[in-house]
């Protein structure tokens, strides 16, 4: 894939909607903000993207860094619009409002699109000053972010390499554990979900990644896809390990899941695994440019339905079976576009980085999920995951 | 202090403004959301706080957890308002809008306040359905959060204990380093800011805390308060270490800074330290219930100005000297109310957890900052920091 970002669709949207630009007010924690500005700041700042220029408005404290580190064509600081004078006359809040209005005026932006989660307070202020502010319900910046450049794919690949090291550390703990009274033991105590998570996190840190949360869930915990898991891990039950770290340097994520059984899985759990492996393969089989996210999801659903398990499309209210979508985009956000789910009718294109992560859940059996991360290529896909898919560990 | 949360001011605001409730739509990453809902979910959900009840609206995936873990009186899921039927007729986005409107209708909320960063898209949808949505520019939930209960103070204290362990690990690396050609060396290589940060982060993880960022900055890097620092640490120059971790269990933060010199500081750096130590003591001297944040800030500024250094009040445009405020509240956010800065005219009350963190900065000298975290008590304050204030390490 190309190594140039493609803003053509964003520019066309702005032109067709009659907007002068795309406005953000957020810290770099908002992926759209970091993407458009290229500036990593912990407090909210303003970015105005137009087809001609990208301009930032930052506090004096961030001005030097914004000029040297951001991808903006122009950087302004509050003082450029007489913030101190305005603040002594009108107070700080009103001064900030006037500074933003003057900034937009300098860059001829009287009618702006914003992301849908743009802060209401700022929007109302601008509207009161006759700036038209319209939330972009179709998330055009998210669409631009979804199609990665070659450099962005490398960022994901690097994060995934760290991720695999942490999965290996977790798997090693489980392999090396002994079993007593049905519970995994290690280092003289029970091997807990918390202990495995700590090992994962320390390994990731040593590889330049961090993460907010990780899932190490066993038994009934694992039957709830969002349950993070806690307490002693048990033998003969599936243990779901789902790790989604972010590179501290590039801010790009990786994502992968493996499910392990220490000992002997039940027949039901083994069937969960075998069918999920089939759904995983079928989804990859369907993954290619021109296919839709819905197509890939349907391929996984068919395997489950053929094997007699409920899915959300065969039974929208089901609480067991295949109760989530097949995958999602991964980049600056761990969950971003494109979705691989029902109704996702946009075509996949080269550069889309996505997960394939089918799974089965039932409180009486536990949970099983297998997840790789891959990039769509001109002639199919490249799996960015280099980690064996195994179930039973001894 | 009391161990009951005090919502009286929030309730009075709602009553006087004629609002039916306070509405949030955010993930638990938004501190207001976690505070009012008590529910830790990674995706946005809806919380409606009224003086009578707290109600949550969550997806089916989070319903069980929300019922068992949140502090809400009532939990609703999309399916309670026929989401699936609405989605098949109108699409998912419109179905969600209608579900939110029905939820507000059930709880008689036709006129709501929201936090100022409430998502514009949701606000515009509700307004189009004749729900009055008004951003709360005075941040009343933030004010409620600022005054901590005894339990919340304990959460901060626990995070601070972990923080001190990580500061000790960092200081130990610097103490144990050797010096060659003016650069700190450890384990056969240069001791870098990155290496010290890794040690800090691993130590925090082992103590149940995480952090997004930390500052280990030396020389000219340290002269910019927001510079995170990088590269080899040098002898005879101040090294600023500022650590602000969050407990993974409670989500409460701690915050502290120490400045170390390995070797012999310059006379200018030593004076920076001595004067900053004086400003630090003066700010604590001024810290008591009934004082304002501005009073405490003024006490630090006076020490600097008396010693001939510029401050932001003696010279608003200065880029050297004392170029930030004296402190901030710490809790679910690492920066929250109350502010200890110019114009902060609200009175401090028992339960306010704040930092005291004066510092001096000059690219030719470097940076020096000393920061403790403390809680305002009935008769003054309690310093929650148990770590010596030292400058030169051998």
Chain B residue numbers with beta carbons less than 8 Å from the beta carbon of A42 are: 212-213, 226
Instruction: Give yes or no: residues B135 and B197 share one domain.
Output: no
pLDDT score recorded for residue B61: 81
pLDDT score recorded for residue A2: 64
- Within a domain: residue B223? yes
pLDDT score recorded for residue A394: 80
Which of B58, B68, B119, B120 is the best residue to mutate to test the A interface, defined by the most A CB atoms within 10 Å of its own CB? Answer: B120
Q: How does DSSP assign A293-326, residue by residue?
A: HHHHHHHHHHHHHHTT--BTTT-TT-SSBB-S-S
**Which of B29, B120, B324 lies at the smallest CB-CB distance from A123?**
B120
Place of tokens 């010693």: B307
Are B22 and B114 spatial neighbours (Cβ–Cβ below 8 Å)?
yes
Phi first, then psi: what are they for B53, rounded to 5°?
-155, 155
**Which of B121, B210, B212 lies at the smallest CB-CB distance from A135?**
B121
Where is the domain boundary, B145, B161, B196? B145
Which of A121, A229, A248, A253 is the best residue to mutate to test the B interface, defined by the most B CB atoms within 10 Å of its own CB? Answer: A121
User: A5 to chain B nearest CA, in Å?
Assistant: 27
The answer to whether A62 contacts B226, with C-beta atoms less than 8 Å apart, is yes
pLDDT per residue as tens digits for the range B151-169: 999 999 999 999 999 999 9
Chain A residue numbers with beta carbons less than 8 Å from the beta carbon of B209 are: none
Instruction: Give yes or no: residues B238 and B267 share one domain.
Output: yes
pLDDT band at B230 (very low <50, low <70, confident <90, very high): very high
pLDDT score recorded for residue B1: 56
pLDDT score recorded for residue A53: 97
Instruction: Give yes or no: residues A141 and A123 share one domain.
Output: yes
Instruction: Give yes or no: residues B198 and B300 share one domain.
Output: yes
Instruction: Give yes or no: residues B89 and B162 share one domain.
Output: no
State whether the Cα torsion A4-A348-A359-A230 is positive or negative.
positive
pLDDT band at B204 (very low <50, low <70, confident <90, very high): very high
pLDDT score recorded for residue A1: 56
**Among chain B residues, CA nearest to A27:** B117
- Within a domain: residue A193? yes
pLDDT score recorded for residue A173: 98
**Among chain B residues, CA nearest to A25:** B117
State whether the Cα torsion A23-A28-A29-A35 is positive or negative.
positive
Alpha helices in chain B (DSSP H): 8-17, 31-37, 60-69, 83-90, 92-106, 120-128, 140-146, 150-176, 193-206, 267-286, 293-306
Phi first, then psi: what are they for A38, rounded to 5°?
65, 20
User: A210 to chain B nearest CA, in Å?
Assistant: 8
Chain A residue numbers with beta carbons less than 8 Å from the beta carbon of B41 are: 226
- Within a domain: residue B120? yes
Instruction: Give yes or no: residues B184 and B102 share one domain.
Output: no
**CB neighbour class for B331 (10 Å; exposed up to 12, middle 13-18, buried from 19):** buried
Give chain B's mean pLDDT: 95
In chain A, the N- to C-terminal Cα span, in Å, equals 41
**Among chain A residues, CA nearest to B133:** A120
State the complex-level ipTM.
0.90
**Among chain A residues, CA nearest to B197:** A205
The residue among B263, B186, B229, B169 whose CA lies nearest residue B369 is: B229
pLDDT score recorded for residue B247: 96
Instruction: Give yes or no: residues B329 and B384 share one domain.
Output: yes
**Which of B124, B201, B225 lies at the smallest CB-CB distance from A135?**
B124
The answer to whether A117 contacts B119, with C-beta atoms less than 8 Å apart, is yes
Task: Give the CATH number, domain containing residue A273.
Answer: 3.90.230.10
**Which of A118, A123, A226 lies at the smallest CB-CB distance from B62?**
A226
| Tally of domains within chain B | 2
- What mean pLDDT comes out for the span B66-81? 96
pLDDT score recorded for residue A93: 86
- Within a domain: residue A3? no
- Within a domain: residue B108? yes
- What mean pLDDT comes out for the span B95-103? 95
The answer to whether A202 contacts B198, with C-beta atoms less than 8 Å apart, is no
The answer to whether B118 contacts A119, with C-beta atoms less than 8 Å apart, is yes
pLDDT per residue as tens digits for the range B332-383: 999 999 999 998 999 999 999 999 999 999 999 999 999 999 999 999 999 9
Instruction: Give yes or no: residues B215 and B82 share one domain.
Output: no
Which of A87, A120, A137 is the best residue to mutate to test the B interface, defined by the most B CB atoms within 10 Å of its own CB? Answer: A120
Distances B28 to A251, B35, B179 between C-alpha atoms, Å:
20, 9, 46
Give residue ranges of A with CB < 8 Å to any B CB.
29, 41-43, 61-62, 64-65, 79, 84, 92-93, 114, 116-124, 133, 135, 137, 198, 201-202, 205-206, 210, 212-213, 224-227, 316-317, 319, 323-324, 335, 343
pLDDT score recorded for residue A317: 81
Domain residue limits at A359: 148-393
Plot region of B321 (φ>0 → left; ψ -120 to 50 → alpha; else → beta)? left
User: A289 to chain B nearest CA, in Å?
Assistant: 25
Half-sphere exposure of A265 (CA within 13 A, CB side): 24
- Within a domain: residue A347? yes
Are A49 and A36 spatial neighbours (Cβ–Cβ below 8 Å)?
yes
Where is the domain boundary, A116, A145, A174? A145
Give residue ranges of B with CB < 8 Å to any A CB.
29, 41-43, 60-62, 64-65, 79, 84, 92-93, 114, 116-124, 133, 135, 137, 198, 201-202, 205-206, 210, 212-213, 224-227, 316-317, 323-324, 335, 343
Chain B residue numbers with beta carbons less than 8 Å from the beta carbon of A120 are: 114, 116-120, 123, 133, 135
Instruction: Give yes or no: residues A138 and A216 share one domain.
Output: no
Q: Could you say which DSSP state residue A19 is in?
A: -
Instruction: Give yes or no: residues B47 and B110 share one domain.
Output: yes
**Among chain A residues, CA nearest to B224:** A61
**Which of B120, B133, B212 lies at the smallest CB-CB distance from A118?**
B120
- Within a domain: residue B290? yes
Give pLDDT tens digits along chain A (394 positions): 567 899 999 999 999 999 999 999 999 999 999 999 999 998 899 999 999 999 999 998 889 889 999 999 999 999 999 998 999 899 888 999 999 999 999 999 999 999 999 999 999 999 999 999 999 999 999 999 999 999 999 999 999 999 999 999 999 999 999 999 999 999 999 999 999 999 999 999 999 998 878 999 998 899 988 789 999 999 999 999 999 999 999 999 999 999 999 999 999 999 999 999 999 999 999 999 999 999 999 999 999 999 999 999 999 889 899 999 999 999 999 999 999 999 899 999 999 999 999 999 999 999 999 999 999 999 999 999 999 999 999 8
The answer to whether A135 contacts B120, with C-beta atoms less than 8 Å apart, is yes
Tally of CB atoms within 10 A around A273: 23
The answer to whether B227 contacts A133, with C-beta atoms less than 8 Å apart, is no
**Which of B198, B205, B343 lies at the smallest CB-CB distance from A201?**
B205
Instruction: Give yes or no: residues A49 and A125 share one domain.
Output: yes
As given in the structure block, the two tokens for residue B233 are 């640490």
Task: Give the CATH number, domain containing residue B34.
Answer: 3.40.350.10
User: B198 to chain A nearest CA, in Å?
Assistant: 7
pLDDT at B81 over 90: yes
The answer to whether B61 contacts A225, with C-beta atoms less than 8 Å apart, is yes
Instruction: Give yes or no: residues B75 and B101 share one domain.
Output: yes
CA B71/CA B62 separation, integer angstroms: 14
User: B378 to chain A nearest CA, in Å?
Assistant: 31
- Within a domain: residue B1? no
The answer to whether A120 contacts B137, with C-beta atoms less than 8 Å apart, is no
Where is the domain boundary, B91, B122, B145? B145
The residue among A258, A240, A168 whose CA lies nearest residue A204 is: A168
């Amino acid at each position: 894939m190309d190594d140039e970002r493609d803003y053509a669709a964003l520019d066309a949207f702005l032109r067709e909607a009659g907007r002068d630009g795309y406005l953000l007010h957020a810290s770099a924690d908002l992926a759209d903000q970091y993407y458009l500005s290229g500036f990593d700041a912990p407090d909210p700042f303003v970015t105005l993207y137009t087809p001609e220029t990208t301009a930032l408005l930052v506090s004096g404290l961030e001005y030097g860094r914004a000029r040297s580190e951001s991808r903006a064509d122009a950087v302004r600081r509050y003082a450029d619009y007489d913030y101190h004078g305005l603040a002594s006359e009108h107070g700080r809040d009103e001064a900030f409002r006037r500074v933003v209005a003057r900034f937009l005026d300098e860059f001829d932006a009287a009618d702006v699109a914003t992301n849908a989660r743009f802060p209401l307070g700022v929007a109302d202020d601008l509207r009161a000053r006759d700036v038209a502010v319209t939330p972009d319900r179709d998330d055009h910046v998210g669409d631009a972010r979804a199609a990665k450049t070659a450099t962005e794919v490398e960022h994901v690949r690097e994060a995934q390499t760290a991720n695999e090291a942490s999965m290996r550390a977790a798997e090693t703990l489980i392999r090396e554990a002994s079993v007593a009274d049905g519970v995994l033991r290690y280092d003289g105590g029970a091997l807990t979900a918390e202990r495995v998570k700590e090992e994962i996190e320390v390994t990731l840190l040593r590889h330049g990644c961090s993460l907010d949360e990780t899932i190490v869930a066993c038994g009934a915990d694992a039957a709830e896809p969002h349950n993070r898991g806690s307490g002693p891990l048990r033998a003969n039950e599936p243990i779901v390990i789902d790790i989604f770290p972010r590179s501290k340097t590039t801010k790009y994520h990786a994502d992968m899941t493996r499910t392990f059984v220490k000992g002997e899985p039940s027949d039901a759990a083994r069937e969960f695994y075998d069918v999920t492996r089939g759904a995983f393969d079928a989804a990859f089989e369907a993954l290619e440019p021109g296919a839709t996210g819905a197509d890939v999801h349907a391929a996984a659903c068919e395997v489950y339905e053929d094997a007699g398990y409920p899915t959300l499309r065969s039974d929208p209210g089901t609480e067991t079976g295949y109760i989530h979508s097949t995958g999602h985009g991964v980049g600056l956000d761990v969950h971003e576009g494109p979705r691989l789910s029902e109704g996702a009718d946009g075509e996949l294109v080269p550069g889309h980085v996505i997960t394939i992560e089918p799974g089965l859940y039932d409180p009486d059996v536990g949970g099983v999920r297998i997840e790789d991360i891959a990039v769509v290529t001109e002639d199919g896909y490249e799996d960015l995951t280099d980690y064996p898919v195994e179930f039973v560990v001894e």
